[in-house]
Structure 1
Amino acid sequence: MLVAHAAWHGGALCLWAERTGSREPDPDAHPFATRDFTGTSYEPMVRGAFRVELAMALPTVGGMPVPSPELDSTPHDEPPRLREWRVPALVLEPFPAMALLQAAEHSGDVVCGTDLRYLCLLAEEAVHLVGRGQVLPALLREDGDLVARWRPVFDDGDRFGDLVRAMPSACRAADGGRPAAEVLREALSGLVDTAVRGIVPHPLLPPRAGRVPDRLPLAERWVEALTGPNPVVAREPRDDPDELIAELDAWAAAVRRPSGPLRVCFRLAEPGADELDYGQGGEKSESWRVEFALQGVDDPSLYVPAALVWAGEATSIPNARETLLEGLGRALRLFPGMARALNGDTPHELVLDTAGAFRFLRESAPMLAAAGFGVLLPTWAGRARLGMRLTTRDDPDEGGGAAAGSGFDLSGLMRFKWDLAIGDESIDEDELAELARLKTPLVRLRGQWVELDEEQLEAALEFLRQPRAGTMTAAEAIRAIVNAGDDALPLLDVDADGAFGDLLSGQADRRLTPMTTPEGVEATLRPYQERGLAWLRFMSDLGLGGLLADDMGLGKTLQTLSLLAYEREGGRTPRPTLLIGPMSLVGNWQREAARFTPKLRVYVHHGTGRHRDEDLVAAVGRADLVLTTYGTAARDAAVLGRVGWERVVCDEAQALKNAGTRQARAVRSIPARTRIALTGTPVENHLTELWSIMEFANPGLLGPRAAFRERFAVPIEKDGDERAALALKRATQPFILRRLKTDRSIISDLPEKQEIKTYCNLTPEQASLYRATVDDMLAQIAEADERQRRGLVLATMAKLKQVCNHPAQLLKDGSRLAGRSGKLERLEEICGQVVEQGEKALVFTQYAEFGSMLQPYLASRLERPVLWLHGGTSKQARDDLVQHFQNDPEPSVFLLSLKAAGTGLTLTAANHVVHLDRWWNPAVEDQATDRAFRIGQTRNVQVRKFVCVGTMEERIDEMIERKKALADSIVGTGEDWLTELSVAELRDVLWLAPEAVAD
């Protein structure tokens, strides 16, 4: 028996197989692996493939790789461990690889492994994307070459996440393992590129007429490389591809993906769950069940069980039975265990035992979801986990333990206790022993089902053998929390009281008494700066490094200078502080120190005339603050290391984000009692940058970089692992003070208004109506007199605005709203985000009829009331609406007619303003915005002005922006000024550009 496997490695499909009975004498060679497909149906498809040997991290038990379930389904007595094995494999060129993936599952003499089946699914997904036109051309840099590629338009985050979670580990096992999301992007992009090249003719452009120039434009060479087998773009001197790359990237970012109406859905019901009343008698089942159903794609709440379909009670759904059977047939290859449920004439469910339910949860459900099927799982699935919980309390015998003096003492003792827990429930040794005895992957504990594997149980039993109660210092507790837990037995929660609890919760700055402005500071600190100064002193007193990550403009420089001034009050003369920053900021620090802390002695160590050797040590001894650059610090690290520094401060500390650079290593080598990192962007691209900055501030705190990447960076960035994110937050939060301008405690001092243009596309329906309206107006205006002309222009402008809002507003036919307007789609997204963040928004429209259409639609989509104020609202109702909006703590959206609510109201509960359709008079729009941005507003206000790209809305907006200084004279009231434009000018303003329409 031959079981075929596949991995995606080096941008190509790598194929290998397991064969029973084969053995290799080499202890590092996979004993069952082969690349020999001679005599099988795969042989013609792998001819020409070149041979490689892959290093693959595979599950191993007893020194042998675990065979595929297709070869051996015998359970193992011990949990498998990953070990690297050498595997002989074949690397297929793109077109043979695509052919194999499209034919692999139909071969009768070779069994597909789960990893190969997954890649077959990806090949089908690629073909599906190409068939629907969900691809865009791209220009990329690969290994020093410019290459033309076709890339998938894959903007459905949930679908992408499902594919990531469904990926079998063997698909990404090459070279010790890679993140699933990275492999998925690479594989899907490669398969899409191959699929397009298989159907698009080559060359794509027609032959040039006349003489061919010596140097073809880059764009033409790129288009030529988009088809045919060679994607490399021929290079010419003076090529500058950045602009073309940026335009293509922007194009890809603007595209949206459509979806279909119905899909087959699978719902897992646990034992004892009530049967739905559709012919099952209302009894309770003692088995697990996978229920089949039809579900709406756009509206998942549309859910019709298969039993209702077969009973003839789904008459409102055309071809319901055919849709159900076709979907179940497609799902069968991803969920082979479903076969026995399809033997009858009316398949509606699959009955499973506990082991089968566990396999469905872990294997089939992710694969089905990735393939676009609906999957509904119990609410507990994947949530409740076995883990550890730490409880700490101040030790009363030590006078309060860590709470002392200024509020904390790392050497203070505290009582601790470790417990085992599942979810929110603690479990004792007897319960754990019973769970271990049952040896089942799904167990029922205190009324809820929990997934529990052998590795978790082994880790828990080992945990019980360790001391779990006693006393330890606060410093030991911090290290224990940072290093506690792993995938098998994570740290679920820390329950700490007093100052230690505040430190761990990241609220130390709020617990500490804010410090008043030190005597040596010639400024008045804002309240949040006083808290920041108290936190900096708190961390310094503890001897801990800290990361002050305040937003830009919140005064990190002033807070740091204030700390130095405080330390010199009362005649204290601590050792000097070394400040390292970019060259551009050294002068700023010098000026700020002279302005705010003139008594501080400052020495700038930079330039060819700087002190060297003993002269430098002497100069530093006469200073309170030494300023230098990253480059100088790296060159002079040896002599700077001879100084007894109180602290080292790194400004714009993202300069240390690459921990392995000579500069970062040199800065870390300079010894100091404490360290402070200052940056408003602690993570610019990757989480390892945070590790690098924290390695400077508190060396060794987060462990080795490789371990940090494996434990935190990869699971969080690639897989969206919430548990890893929580663990990282718990590990770093005590050492980071992060304040944002949007923080309510900060914004009371710094209210700002941020204006954002929100660009939207038209749907094809909107574009058709837009063109027809413009054509009709231009035809009439040529024969109209001056009075008629003005009326035509204003009427056409109004119609085009309505088209840009929604076709139903222009047609006035009461038709559905969903899926027909780019503006409405974007408004729904923004309102959803606002409500999710617990905030409030004002949405202005100049059309009362459109507001009346939007109000019930948004209310149903957001699942909460949406207020609506217009000209017909009575004064009492108006006042009630305003009071409700201002005083109700719940997040909400307030729709307002621009004329009825543009002035005279105070609506400071909102910190978001949306101008859905534009008045094209900045003064009128600003008055409406000022309903929220006025005295009493304590938060930043984000103002979004919607503009449909490629339409008159964009071009008129550009005209206003160019003439803002003359806005009062050019833009009077309303749109009357537009009636003075000539026919040619009107045509330029009104024409519909190709980029206006979204697919």
Structure 2
Amino acid sequence: MYQNEQLTAAISNVRKSTGVTCFQVALTPGGHPALLATTDPADNLSKKTAEQLSAFFSQGYATGLLHLSVAIQDKTLPISIKFWRQFSRLFITSLCYMTGGSTVMLAAVQPPVFPMIEMENLLATAPFMAGSEYLNADVLQSLWEDLWQALLATLQKSALDFTAWLTQYDSTWKQVGRICFHLAENKRDPNAPFAFLATYVTHLSQQGTLSYVPLGRALQEYTQDQRQLLALLLPIQKAGQSNEFLKQLIDTGSIFKPLAWRAKEAYQLLQAIPLLEEAGIVVKTPDWWKATHAAHPKVAVTMGKKETSHLGLDALLDFQINLCLPNGMLLQDDEIASILSAGTGLIQLKGQWVAVDHEKLGEVLSHWKKIARQVEKEGLSFADALRMTAGLTPLQNGAPLPIDIATWSQTIAGDWLQEVLTRLRQPEQALEKTLPALLKKHFCASLRPYQVVGVQWLWTLYQMKLGACLADDMGLGKTIQVLALLTLIRHHPLTQSKVKHPHLLVLPASLLGNWQMEFQKFAPGLRLKMIHASMTDSPILLDTAPDLSGIDLVITTYTYASKLNWLKEINWDLLVLDEAQAIKNPAAKQSQAIKALKSQRRLVLTGTPIENRLMDLWSLFDFVAPGLLGSNRAFAKYGKNTEEAGAFNAALRRLISPYILRRLKSDKRIIADLPDKTELQTYCNLSKTQSVLYQQAVLQLTRELETVDDDMKRRGLVLAYLSRFKQICNHPNQWSGQGAFNPQDSGKFLRLGELCEEIAARQEKVLIFTQFREIIPALEQYLFSVFGQAGLTLDGSTPIKERTKRVNAFQQECGPPFFILSLKAGGTGLTLTHASHVIHFDRWWNPAVENQATDRAYRIGQKKNVLVHKFVCLGTIEEKIDDMLRAKQSLASDIIGEPAVAMLTEMSDNDLLAMVSLDIHSVLTEKET
């Protein structure tokens, strides 16, 4: 079983240092719940509960979950902990039904089967919490099996049987599953179409199945033991005190006999199910009756049968009200008349038994007729229809349907709307055959199959004038999919002849270089306008737009988008936000400024999980599809940890699913399309301080080259300056050796922070390699602030034994999230396969050495696709050497790498200065994000 000692130590340290008792249970990428300290007041626990959870989870995640189900009795818990308690209690309850409260030893029986319906319900109603993206049926099934092993180990250690172990925490568990009421259809007798039998469980058979015995036999078996008989019948007696029908069965002794019933008696028993289950009695009913969604006629609300002539969230759809059976089959007029004329109880329609409750049916019809009148006046928008099909009220208040209304209603997407939703939710099923040919002709890249699906999905939403959130995992190619979309818009026959406004792309300043390089490489035919001081010689005016005639795309940063007034005056065709988590705070001025921009369509890109925090999700969708999720206040109200939260979460997932496309690197559907490792050039801009220091170094090298007259001295001079240029590119203070390492002073630090924020949000791990030992402490301190926890470092001074300890710590699932290594000390001989990212913070200029370092993560034992990020400062010698290395990457390493440094020392002065000179248009001239 997995042991989480480091996590416990970390929690203990947090409590000792800060007194914090805020915790959540997060799901790790490996599919294991982990107890993590937080600073969110909503995650606050009592001191006693926090200590209990820490102690339980220190013994392993399965042991932690097991005891969470029975030992933690708090009624109010953080939403993530409450969810995992629900899951583990389902496991315990299944065991109670299986054992019937007997003292059977569990080691001799088969583990309980995970009920499929309950699994689906857990997945649908799971809260938005850390690790939501890793939650699926396979993970729950695996955890269910882990709980079984943890329980067996716990019972063996305690020397108790299951019932005794349970009742030491809560005696009510002992009553679960002892008596069972069976109700079945009796199709042979139309006058008495139901049969009833009460049983109790005596033991488990050798095959591990329950042995049911008629309850009447207990009167014979317990003749000599009245106390045992009274204990057995106690749940029935308890239920009978609150229900007259059950009381009559007990008083007349009928409860001990098989009974033939009319529909009236069957209905009375079905109505009493909640009371019986509360008393600890199991009730087995026909398949068509479920206590949580009883079989009764429903009000069927159908929307979008016909195609709308107008597209977008405000498109108006048709709306119809009818009655249907639980399976969705619509009823005819004569069948509706039968329902209305029948008394309250069970009736049979189309071969199905349904319960009729005139009062409830009238309330639900009244609710929908009121909405119908409102729709008749105002129309039903596409957004309202999506809200209703998801189980939310229409007209933008964002509330879930009242439980009574939802239970007695069935919202149905009509033919046209269903076709649209299928195309959006399952884009791989609706690929347009003409798209690959168009892209092959106009786009300079071959897309992977899952990327073609992504472009098709984006194109469908674009055509429908709907917003989109492309949330693919880092490294799956969000940028290239957007470039392909823009190429399609430019060349597709459906859009080519239309007068189009330009598109606008807003991104962090640190990504300007990356996007510019990708455009030049993959979509050189698109006409760009870069709005940034580092990208143009022309002045950028606050109120006057430049000439945009013939421009396909304008690219600018969040800072410029917040202050340039003319950007707000243009009605952009497609407005794209990269790293869209920049607007996750709806109250921030930057978020409000971005949302004020006008556009016909909107698209956000983010590699950060959008479901970890509910209000972040609202803010993103307030941009993507304004009004879809209702008001901020209403959304926050229903998203809180209340009884309505489960239904709200399930409805919310259904509502946003057409607008979100997210594929993980671990997704079985796409992993075959991916290489085992993906190498990415990560371009960084210099800060103003860096560019000044770099330019000064170039000028100083120029003067010194004029005075040196010895080849050896000249070689030493060049090598010294090469190292100096690298240090300045890393951080100005690495070269100067003075002051603190302010991240804002280094383009590499800023880009490292952005990357690691995504990695931290996904609970993944990263290796960072540098050839400069002196910068490791600054990197460690900075990444501590990003991850919120300490990482590991390793350099030439680290003792051998300590290296082994640190490697082992990193290889633990909940071990430190980052490991900073000097290239010489950590580049060989270590196995660090828990990292799914490798960052080369500075370059060795020798691919063989870099590849050896990368292979610390990418080697036998690695089960993930590894992303390799190679940092390159634009406009500097780093970019020029990188271009040279990639141009010669097919040659042997004796042509590039170490000899490349020697080659630089042997260049003429003019060639050398051309190599190291600064391209001023590729660096930032101001600090911004």
Question: TM (normalized to structure 1)?
Answer: 0.43
Q: More relative contact order in 1 or in 2 (CA 8 Å, sep 6+)?
A: 2
- TM-score normalized by the length of structure 2: 0.45
Greater per-residue strand proportion: 1
